[in-house]
Amino acid sequence: MTAIRSVVLGCGSYLPQRVLTNAELAAKVDTSDEWIVQRTGIRQRHIAAEGEFTSHLAINAARAALAHAGVDAQSIDLIVLATSTPDQTFPATAVAVQNGLGINHGAAFDLQAVCSGFVFALASADNFLRTGAFKRALVIGAETFSRILDWNDRGTCVLFGDGAGAVVLEAQAQPGTPSDRGVLTTHLRSDGRHKGKLYVDGGPSSTQTVGHLRMEGREVFKHAVGMITDVIVDAFNATGATADSIDWFVPHQANKRIIDASAHKLHIAPQKVVLTVDLHGNTSAASIPLALAVAVNDGRVKKGDLVLFEAMGGGFTWGSALLRW
Ligand code: UT7
């Protein structure tokens, strides 16, 4: 038996040059490096320059992923871009990326699932590739959350940062066994009853403004670990993988305490956890591919490794993906 799998050919990322430290934030709002590090694990975050848009970050990450994969942009026939901070209300930022890469065939669209965006985008691209609708996809998470933060709200402005990450996926025939390379399973969930706990207080249809991010942090925290671990158990049940058999856990980087608690609950060994929240802050849909690129570039993630992604965010939305590198 053979199966079509979405195999990762390469990954890449991009961070804006400007680094904003906790100490700089403490000079602006009533907070401290100690509070931010203790409660979140964040030490710094990157902030896009004036005139630097989500599409620019995404194009840089996409180019890095294409170079890492060793494939030409012209071979891409699908771009799925996860973002909650598009350049404009429309057209999709994905078409700006497509144009920036000089591609004018295939399809490009944005996907909005806030911090879960990358997992949702990966699952969507995987489904398109497995049906044969497309052959080679760029899946990108790119955000400029600095543009939607209320810089006077210490409860949120210390948490988020800007950045982008991307992977190149290719539809390949694999033996159809658990040792296949590529995406092995994805699990997506949403529950709109929680839509008021993490949201932006503006939008084209409601206020005709962009708005600012608002969050009941403690409420989000309360649900996070349970939701994350639920969808990871789904991924384990679907594949027979276990906390012991996975090689790397690349979670959404919102808060080190959430990541530690989730890994602990699932009995995932701490040395398998890829952590970048200290350096990047919460970059929403970009956080998983940013962390992945770090672990691939420093040689941790190697061909054949079993890699687990999870994310949870506004909506609420949450999801997991398990793949073999
Ligand atoms: O990526 C999407 C998903 N998002 C998340 O996963 C975020 C989930 N939530 C969290 O990570 C945490 O809830 C936060 C990091 C946002 C907050 O941590 P917490 O331990 O839940 O703190 P808290 O909200 O319960 O606040 C504790 C105290 C409060 O003061 P009082 O009421 O105890 O006097 C806050 O006013 O800390 C205060 N506080 C701050 N103090 C210094 C809130 N923000 C700050 C700050 N600096 N930046």
- Residue 212 sits in the same domain as residue 119: no
Nearest CA to ligand 1 atom 11: 255
29/157 same-domain check: yes
Whole-prediction pTM? 0.98
Domain identity same for 319 and 191: yes
Are 15 and 39 in a shared domain?
A: yes
Q: How many angstroms is it from 155 CA to the middle of ligand 1?
A: 6
Ligand 1: residue whose CA is nearest its atom 47: 31
- Predicted confidence at residue 304, as pLDDT, reads 97
- Whole-angstrom CA distances from 63 to 14, 68, 72, 74, 137 are 9, 9, 9, 12, 13
Domain termination residue (choose one: 126, 149, 174): 174
With 90 as the cut, is the pLDDT of residue 10 above it? yes
282 an active-site residue? yes
CATH number, position 139: 3.40.47.10
The three-state secondary structure class of 175 is coil
Residues 307-317 have pLDDT tens digits of: 999 999 999 99
Encode pLDDT of 69-94 as tens digits: 999 999 999 999 999 999 999 999 99
Tell whether 137 and 237 lie within a shared domain.
no
Examine the residue annotation and report whether 60 is marked as an active-site residue of this protein: no
Mean pLDDT on 280-286: 98
| Structural domain count of the chain | 2
Q: Are residues 216 and 268 in the same domain?
A: yes
Same domain, 196 and 150: no
Distance 94 CA to ligand 1 centre (A): 33
Same domain, yes or no: 35 and 66: yes
**Percent of the chain at pLDDT above 70?**
100
> Residues lining ligand 1, judged by CB closer than 6 Å?
31, 35, 39-40, 115, 154-155, 158, 217-218, 220-221, 224, 254-255, 258, 282, 312-313
- For atom 39 of ligand 1, the residue with the nearest CA is 155
Q: Are residues 194 and 244 in the same domain?
A: yes
Contact present, 67 and 105 (Cβ < 8 Å):
no
Choose the catalytic residue: 157, 252, 255, 280.
252
Residue from 115, 212, 255, 280 carrying the catalytic annotation: 115
Mean pLDDT of 13-37: 98
User: What is the structure's pLDDT at 178?
Assistant: 82
Same domain for 21 and 151, yes or no, is yes
199 CA to centre of ligand 1 in angstroms: 16
Look at residue 222 in the predicted model and tell me its pLDDT. Answer: 95
CA distance 141 to 284: 8
Q: Which of 108, 140, 174 is the last residue of a domain?
A: 174
Q: What is the rounded distance in angstroms from the CA atom of residue 64 to the CA atom of residue 51?
A: 21
Q: Are 254 and 224 in contact (CB under 8 A)?
A: yes
**35 CA to middle of ligand 1, Å?**
9
- Asked if residue 1 has pLDDT above 90, the reply is no
pLDDT at 112 over 90: yes
Alpha helices in the chain (DSSP H): 22-26, 33-40, 54-69, 93-100, 117-131, 154-157, 217-239, 256-266, 277-280, 287-297
Domain stops at, among 157, 174, 191: 174
| pLDDT tens-digit readout, 171-216 | 999 999 889 999 999 999 999 999 999 999 999 999 999 999 999 9
* Domain that residue 242 falls in: 182-324
* Ligand 1, atom 41, residue with closest C-alpha: 31
Give residue for tokens 């030409």.
72
Among residues 171, 178, 172, 167, the alpha carbon closest in space to that of 309 is found at: 167
Q: In this model, does residue 14 exceed pLDDT 80?
A: yes
Residue 34 sits in the same domain as residue 140: yes
274 contacts 248 by C-beta, under 8 angstroms: yes
Q: How far from the centroid of its chain's Cα atoms is residue 61's Cα?
A: 13
* Beta strands in 87-202, from DSSP E residues, in sequence order: 107-111, 136-144, 162-174, 182-190, 198-200
Domain shared by 140 and 287, yes or no: no
